Amino acid sequence: MNAAGAFRPMLSRNGLDIAPLQEITSRPSPLRISFLADYPQFADVLAPEIFEHWRYVLTDETINDREAKLRQHLNKSELPIALVAHNDTEVLGTASLRANDLEGYAHLSPWLGGVFVRQPYRGRGIASALSQAVEQIACSLGHNTLYLFTPNQQRLYARLGWSTFESTIWHGVKANVMTKEWG
């Protein structure tokens, strides 16, 4: 765990391991971060919850659209790539590395997108761990800059070292495009 209290993802043969200095759940099973491609069954759990979470903004999207989008992320070495946070028995959240994630910003790439933690597991550092794991994947693919947009999680990302690039409107909702550079 770093000074900000976030979990530090580490690459392993079976995906990304999270090595916390304290447990984030009452279960003895560790939090793991892996490619969604290795656990495609988790998409069936995530799709309806993500659909419900963003339904107020993405009013034209259907559950089938969301399922199809997750299936497009079943990759390990080419974008889009989805990661999942999980323990031994259930999926806790997801995040993706995408070539583009916001209409009108195709000139900026790649993007951290689709960060979602299931309701019972929020506030435990999982979104931070997933974000950092996506940063590792971006770095391993040769990128030194990453972008994201968020309507309401600016403070979280600022704590993780992101800075505001500019303000924008996404489906009628005020949001910020943020960026992070390294190396």
Residue 41 lies in a domain: yes
Tell me, yes or no, whether 181 lies in a domain: no
Q: Does the residue 172 lie in any domain? A: no
Nearest-angstrom CA–CA distance, 164 and 166: 6
The answer as to whether 98 is a domain residue is: yes
Cα gap 4→125, rounded to integer Å? 10
- 160 within some domain: no
pLDDT on residue 10: 46
Q: How many domains does the chain have?
A: 1
- Domain housing 20: 9-142
Q: Considering the domain boundaries, does residue 42 fall inside one?
A: yes
Q: Supply the pLDDT for residue 8.
A: 42
pTM of the model as a whole: 0.84
Q: What is the pLDDT of residue 116?
A: 96
- Residues 134 and 162 sit within 8 Å (Cβ to Cβ): no
Tens-digit pLDDT string for the chain (183 aa): 333 333 344 444 445 544 332 334 444 468 999 999 999 999 999 999 999 988 877 778 899 998 999 999 999 999 999 999 999 889 999 999 999 999 999 999 999 999 999 999 999 999 999 999 999 999 999 999 999 999 999 999 999 999 999 999 988 889 999 999 997
pLDDT at 13: 40
CATH of the domain at 29: 3.40.630.30
pLDDT value of position 12: 44
